[in-house]
Amino acid sequence: MTPESIPDFALLEGVITHHRHDGYAHDFHHRQFWMVAHLDVLGSLVTEKTHLKGLWPWMGVNRASLYQFKAEDHLPDKTGRPLKEKILAAVNAAGIGTEATQNIQIICHWRYANYTFNPVSLFYGLNSAGDAQWCLVEVENTFYERKTFVIPNTGTLTHPRFEATCPKYFYVSPFFRVDDTFRLSLPASPTVGKPFAMNITTLRDNAPILTATFQAHCKTLTSSSIRRCLWRYAFMPQQVIVGIHLHALRLWLKGVPFAQKEDFLPQQQAVWNPKPPLCSSRSSQL
C-alpha cells in the first residue's frame, strides 16, 4: 500500500538534554521521538481501523499493535470518565475556561510492544481556528503516579507561549525535594515543518538545580516515517525507564543526596494514581 500521511497526526523527533546546576556534574542527551495527535481523532480510530491506512499494523488505538495509544495511560482514576472529560475538568479546576476549546492535541510516547512510560506528556487546548489557549502538562514518576500542571497562554492566540512557575509538591525523583519548584516554558503547539523547543527547570530557593530541554522538529507522519522511527528508536519507552534508573545509579554513586518516597508522602498534592509505599519502613525503589 502506498504510504500516506494522516491528517491530525505528526512526529516530533529531536534531542532530550539534562543539565545539572548544583555542582554534581551529570549532563546527558538522548535522541527521541514523540507522537502528536488530536484526541478526538484518536477516539474515532478506536472503532475505525481503516483510518490508519498503510500504517496498520504498526500503529493502533486501544487494540493490539506494535505501537499503540491507550487513553488509560494518562490521568488514570477509577471513575471511568473519558480522557478528554478528565483533561477539561482539570483545566477548569485550574480556573481556565474551556468554552472555546474545540480540539485537544496530545504529545506523548505511545506503547511500544505494550509498554510505555511518559516522564512528560503535553495536552494543548485548541480553538476552532487551531490556536492553542492552554497547555496541560502531565508529569509521571517511576511509581507511575502522575501530576498535572495547567499553563495558560501567556502570549497571544497567533503567537502563543506557555510559561509558568509552579510548586512541584510531587515526588518525581529521589534526588530532588518534593517542595522544589518547576519553571515550565513551552512553545506553541507543534506544527509540521516547524521546530519545537520545550524547557523545564527545577528550582530551589529561586536557583536552578536542573534544566531539561527537548529540542525537536515536527514532521509529517507517514507509514515510512513511523517505520523508520520504530526501527531507529526500537523499544524506546523501555529504554527511557532503564535509562532513568541507570542515571539514578550514577547520581547515587556520585554522592547526590538521596531521599525515600515515603519520607514525603504528606507533601504530595493532587496526585493521579497515587501509590502507597512498598513497605511501612524505608523502600529502595527509585
**Is there a domain that residue 262 lies in?**
yes
**Is there a domain that residue 121 lies in?**
yes
Confidence band (pLDDT; 50, 70, 90) for 277? Answer: low
pTM of the model: 0.91
**Is there a domain that residue 89 lies in?**
yes
For the cut 60, the answer to whether the pLDDT of residue 173 exceeds it is: yes
Residue 281 is predicted with a pLDDT of 37
**Is there a domain that residue 97 lies in?**
yes
Residue 3 is predicted with a pLDDT of 39
Confidence band (pLDDT; 50, 70, 90) for 13? Answer: very high
**Is there a domain that residue 282 lies in?**
no
| Rounded Cα gap, residues 214 and 196, in angstroms | 8
Residue 280 is predicted with a pLDDT of 40
**Is there a domain that residue 155 lies in?**
yes
The domain of 77 spans 9-272
**Is there a domain that residue 278 lies in?**
no
Q: Report the number of distinct structural domains present in the chain.
A: 1
